[in-house]
Structure 1
Amino acid sequence: MKLVMRVKLLPTPVQAAALEATLHACNEAATWAASVAFEKEARRPLALRKHTYAEIRERWGLGAQAAQHAIKKTCDAYTALKANLRSGRYGRPGSRRHARASGKPVVFRPQAAQPYDDRMLSWQHLQQTVSIWTTAGRLKGVAFTGQDGQLAVLAAHRQGESDLVFQGGKWFLIATCEIPEAAPNSHPAGFLGVDLGIVNIAVTSDGARHCGRRINRKRESDRKLRSKLQKKNTKSAKRRAKKHAGKEARRAKDINHKISKWIVAEAERTGRGIALETLTGIRERARLRKPQRVKIHSWPFAQLGSFIAYKAKRAGVPIVHVDPAYTSRECSMCHHTARGNRPSQARFSCRVCGFVDHADHNASHNIRQRGWMAWVCGAQSTAPELTLIA
């Protein structure tokens, strides 16, 4: 199982300047190589290397490995562009957006990530330092930091390349770790149903609720501030907007990590699996008023589901995705399904058997039952192969 660890670097001002100059040089070289690849239609590493390798080394002063990585990064960018064009991400062929994306060379940002292999980067885990190649020479003793658990995993299981990244004025190394998977629980004692929503971000069939009211109030406050600054459009407003950029996303990611960790730990402790709704296409299916659309489109439910999935796989907990249709209208006791069973957002009251419960708790029981039936019928555990730990 692959995990991607993000390690924070703590360079001195001199080291930071060397790292910044290196990123700029590598990305300028990659942008030039992308223009050559576009003109000569040489978008494979071997073909592009013949046209660009010698000049990249001479013009930008890159080492052999750095030049190879710049060329490979260019080819990978064109491969990704081709896949996105084919999937329709840039619209239909012939459209203005499609023509704009395919009709010009790829351009890299000056501070785009740069890959490093073991010849260009070495780790000293006991000293918590790295030795890293730059255009100004090799920097030794560049300090890094992170959580103790992450650093232990990094020291034991790191493999392959690492990416040097500059984000928000801070330096990071993104390293891939190949860790052994836990033995999967092939005979779960049952399933823990999880219902995802707006008012309550996650409700389990055990009755636990992760309420989102306070979070939603904070998000609404952030949205109003962002709108106000965009309308003002002054230099000070832009500075303030830039300062707060990404704050809401980081908060949501932290909350999703905490919720997913608790859910997986509970399932592992009780020897059960986890049943989740398949939320693919929720934006197209949902018919909501404008204020509700803003809320449902802004919270990263897919991220929460992926966090639960990879944590479950790491713990050996089986996870099953079920059809979400009518889970909020079906009675978990007699299975009568009707719109009238849910007289309000929070209340469920069955018209046939009289069963009364919180609507989200009732839905989580339906998800749990559907997950168990799917497992009995031969469903396989679904979990991703790759994830990112911030």
Structure 2
Amino acid sequence: MKLIVQVRLLPTPEQATSLVATLHACNEAANWCSRVAFDKEVKRNFALRHHTYAEIKAQWNLGAQAAQHVIKKTCDAYTTLKAKLKAGNLGRPSSKRYRRATETPIGFRPDGAQPYDDRMLSWQIPQRRLSIWTVAGRTKDVAFTASPEQLTTLAQHRKGESDLVRRDGMWFLLATCEVPEAPLNTDPVDFLGVDLGIVNIATTSDGEITAGRQLNRIRVRERKLRTKLQKKNTPSAKRRLKKRRRKEARRAKDINHKIAKHVVAEAERTGRGIALEDLTGIRERVRLAKPQRATHSSWSFAQLGQFIAYKARRAGVPVVHVDPAYTSRTCAECGHIDKANRVSQAWFACRSCGFVDHADRNSSRNIRARAWELWRRGATTTAPAPPSERTHRGGAGRKHDITPSDACCASPTP
């Protein structure tokens, strides 16, 4: 399976200047290429190459490989846009968002990521140095830092392209690695049900609860501080906002990694599969009052599900997604379904048999039972391979990544 190892580059000021110029040139060329593709309605790689390849090399001083990657990046962006339109992610054709996406060419940020292949990038992993192509020529002896586990994975499994990324003034390379998967456990003894929620982020059918109350308080405090700084709108407030950007997303990602690692490790240790709810489209199906929308949408359950899925594939643990309908109203003991069974957010009390349990644990037991029934009927694992597509609306997207806090071992530690 494909994973990404993220390493941080430590360029000198001169090297950083060359890298900045390279990203700007590549993305300017991509913007021009995007306009050509839009005007001529040519959005396939080889067809677009006939219209743009020579001009890109001449006008922006790009090498042959860089020019081809710019064209491919543009085509990939239009492919991604087409998929989003088909899936309805940009609304109806009459909506303003849909029209804005289809009536103008796709644009690329000046610092959007740029793909590199082995002809443009060479690694000296033991020395933690690399040589990289730039518009100023080949830049050699660029230092990078990585954990020992990351270096081992790079040395043993690196295969394919790498993305050069500039984020908040820092430089990163996202290197693709082809990591072997463990054989799938086709005969699990049972399933570990996982119920996802806002108050309790994850509750397993074993009774383990990952509470989110403290996290919710932190998120509310961060949101209020962000609103206050935005209203103030002074230079110092803008500096603080820039410094704190993506802080909440980093915290959520770290916690999701930890939860996913623990769930997969427990399922692997006990020879069980993992049962999850299929929450696709939950935000569109649920109607909430305005004060509740930020809380409901602030936690990335899709990300948590993806982390569990790819870690499970790597460990050979089957994953089954089940219909979440009425899991919170169904008694895990007698199967009685009643809205009144859910006494409160925290407690479940069956009106038929009198069974009392924590509401989220009762839901996770129902999820486990549904997954086990599906598996006995012949269902297969629904854990997809990590997405290999790259989204290029503003630069390269990311596959599942292994960062310094998620080292490259069988069960990465967030």
With normalisation by structure 1, the TM-score equals 0.94
Q: 1:388 aligns with which of 394, 400, 403?
A: 400
Task: State the distance in 2 between where 1:292 and 1:196 align.
Answer: 17
Residue identity opposite 1:332 in structure 2: A
| C-alpha deviation, 1:179, in angstroms | 1.7
SS of the aligned residue for 1:249 comes to: helix
| C-alpha deviation, 1:279, in angstroms | 1.1
- State the number of aligned residues: 390
- Judged with a 3 Å threshold, the aligned counterparts in structure 2 of structure 1 residues 146 and 320 are, in CA distance, closer, same or farther, namely same
- Judged with a 3 Å threshold, the aligned counterparts in structure 2 of structure 1 residues 46 and 222 are, in CA distance, closer, same or farther, namely same
Residue identity opposite 1:257 in structure 2: H
Structure 1 residues 38-89: Cα deviation after superposition (integer angstroms, max 9, x where no partner): 3333333333333332232222221111122122222222333333344444
Residue identity opposite 1:82 in structure 2: K
Pick 1 or 2: higher relative contact order, CA cutoff 8 A, min separation 6.
2
Q: Which residue of 1 aligns with 2:408?
A: none
Task: State the distance in 2 between where 1:347 and 1:213 align.
Answer: 16
Q: Which residue of 1 aligns with 2:360?
A: 360
Task: State the distance in 2 between where 1:217 and 1:153 align.
Answer: 38
- Judged with a 3 Å threshold, the aligned counterparts in structure 2 of structure 1 residues 369 and 145 are, in CA distance, closer, same or farther, namely same
SS of the aligned residue for 1:313 comes to: helix
- Judged with a 3 Å threshold, the aligned counterparts in structure 2 of structure 1 residues 322 and 93 are, in CA distance, closer, same or farther, namely closer
Task: State the distance in 2 between where 1:38 and 1:183 align.
Answer: 45
SS of the aligned residue for 2:201 comes to: strand
Superposed CA RMSD? 1.8
Does residue 1:136 correspond to 2:136, yes or no? yes
| C-alpha deviation, 1:269, in angstroms | 0.6
Q: Which of 37-46 and 375-384 deviates more?
A: 37-46
Q: Which residue of 2 aligns with 1:40?
A: 40
SS of the aligned residue for 1:373 comes to: helix
SS of the aligned residue for 1:218 comes to: helix
Q: Which residue of 2 aligns with 1:295?
A: 295
Q: Which residue of 1 aligns with 2:407?
A: none
Q: Which runs of 5+ in 2 are unaligned?
A: 387-398, 404-414
Q: Which of 336-345 and 215-224 deviates more?
A: 336-345
Task: State the distance in 2 between where 1:86 and 1:331 align.
Answer: 39
Q: Which residue of 1 aligns with 2:392?
A: none
Matches within 5 A, 1:336-355: 336-355=336-355
Task: State the distance in 2 between where 1:319 and 1:83 align.
Answer: 25
| C-alpha deviation, 1:246, in angstroms | 0.8
Structure 1 residues 107-134: Cα deviation after superposition (integer angstroms, max 9, x where no partner): 2211111111110001111112211111
Q: Which residue of 2 aligns with 1:19?
A: 19
Residue identity opposite 1:285 in structure 2: R
Q: Which residue of 2 aligns with 1:121?
A: 121
Task: State the distance in 2 between where 1:123 and 1:28 align.
Answer: 27
Does residue 1:222 correspond to 2:234, yes or no? no
Q: Which of 357-366 and 300-309 deviates more?
A: 357-366
- Judged with a 3 Å threshold, the aligned counterparts in structure 2 of structure 1 residues 98 and 283 are, in CA distance, closer, same or farther, namely closer
Does residue 1:182 correspond to 2:182, yes or no? yes
SS of the aligned residue for 2:48 comes to: helix
SS of the aligned residue for 1:131 comes to: strand
SS of the aligned residue for 1:299 comes to: coil
Q: Which residue of 2 aligns with 1:56?
A: 56
Q: Which of 355-364 and 103-112 deviates more?
A: 103-112
Matches within 5 A, 1:1-390: 1-93=1-93, 95-386=95-386, 387-389=399-401, 390=403
| C-alpha deviation, 1:149, in angstroms | 2.2
